[in-house]
Structure 1
Amino acid sequence: MSTDHQSTTTLSAPYHIRLAQTLSEAAQTTIASLLTLLPADCIDDVQIDAKIVAEKSTQSISTIVIKNMVDGRGLACPMPLLKTKVALRNVDVGESLYVVATDPNSQADIRAFCQQTQQMLAPNTLLLVLNQTTSGLPNDSASACTSDTIFHFIITKTDSN
């Protein structure tokens, strides 16, 4: 297992994760179970937060609000990246997208995609907050993947102005 944080990361682990109430109950359960695979020094706690919008300005710097998830387990390159790009359309500044994949190429693809947004003069950039590799869930029947390695990404949309 290895951790690869970008040098521009402004958040510090362990992260406080808040799941947007707009996520389905199934998505909340899936995200919570996948986050338990991460080392304890990565994730401090996971909460479902009904008051995310009202409290955005008062959240601590290491709080991550997960608005959506891309489950790319079992998908070959470039599908996890393409699904990530589509899902980011519904993520607002200050919110995050949680992505899991089993294709090793997705690690380089997603990292390069986030770095590319930082080099462009776009109004919003993507901050790769978490890039972690873990072993899969035991008896993971939710995915048809053949690999037991899961690549976890948390991408936060930031305002570059």
Structure 2
Amino acid sequence: MSADSPSIMVRASYPLSLAEGLSESKQQSIRQLLDLLPAEDTDATAPLNKPTVMIKDMVDGRGLACPMPLLKTKVALRSVDTGESLYVVATDPNSQADIMAFCQQSLQTDAANSLSLLINQASTSDSKAASDHPSKYSADTIYHFIITKTDSN
């Protein structure tokens, strides 16, 4: 599959692909949110040096106060298999520290699966996302996380 394929997007140095099981509306939401992140400035014909990240599901924590984005993330990770990723967005600045600490803690425990935080980046929301849900998503800053479940063995 080529880097310019509509099913693969390159964001923050990672080629991203959406799982086939995602609903069309969820895929559209994910694409709109990922478009807020900077695209990698690379030659589309050059081979990518990182494997494609498969996003299996999304947690929309926009408008939720701490600790809700983290709690929803923990629940959603139950349905993510090893090698798959969860895309999380939040507007609460505390979610950045919470999710980073949660992923770091998973690396230090003896759990069968650890979590790799591939993308931890903030962006400014676009006017379309804010106008779609003006009361729910009033914050200008959106925190993006892509968490991949890895095999620690």
Please state if 1:153 is matched with 2:145.
yes
Measure, in 1, the Cα distance between the counterparts of 2:42 and 2:72. 24
What letter matches 1:156 in structure 2?
T
Measure, in 2, the Cα distance between the counterparts of 1:22 and 1:88. 16
Measure, in 2, the Cα distance between the counterparts of 1:82 and 1:127. 17
TM-score by length of 2: 0.83
The structure-2 alpha-carbon separation of the partners of 1:92 and 1:73, relative to structure 1 and needing over 3 Å to count, comes to: same
Structure 1 residue 111 displacement after superposition: 0.2
Residues 84-118 of structure 1: CA deviation (Å, up to 9, x unaligned)? 00000000000000000000000000000000000
The structure-2 alpha-carbon separation of the partners of 1:91 and 1:43, relative to structure 1 and needing over 3 Å to count, comes to: farther
Structure 1 residue 61 displacement after superposition: 3.4
Measure, in 1, the Cα distance between the counterparts of 2:90 and 2:112. 27
Task: Give % identity.
Answer: 61
Aligned positions of 1:41-52 closer than 5 A:
41=40
Structure with more relative contact order (C-alpha pairs < 8 Å, separation 6 or more): 1
Structure 1 residue 42 displacement after superposition: 8.3
Asked whether the 8 Å contact 2:61–2:69 carries over to 1, the reply is yes
TM-score by length of 1: 0.79
RMSD: 2.3
Q: What is residue 22 of structure 1 aligned with on the other side?
A: 21
Please state if 1:131 is matched with 2:120.
yes
Measure, in 2, the Cα distance between the counterparts of 1:115 and 1:42. 29
Structure 1 residue 60 displacement after superposition: 6.8
What letter matches 2:15 in structure 1?
H
Structure 1 residue 62 displacement after superposition: 3.0
The structure-2 alpha-carbon separation of the partners of 1:18 and 1:43, relative to structure 1 and needing over 3 Å to count, comes to: farther
Secondary structure in structure 1 of the residue aligned to 2:97? helix
Structure 1 residue 139 displacement after superposition: 3.2
Secondary structure in structure 2 of the residue aligned to 1:111? helix
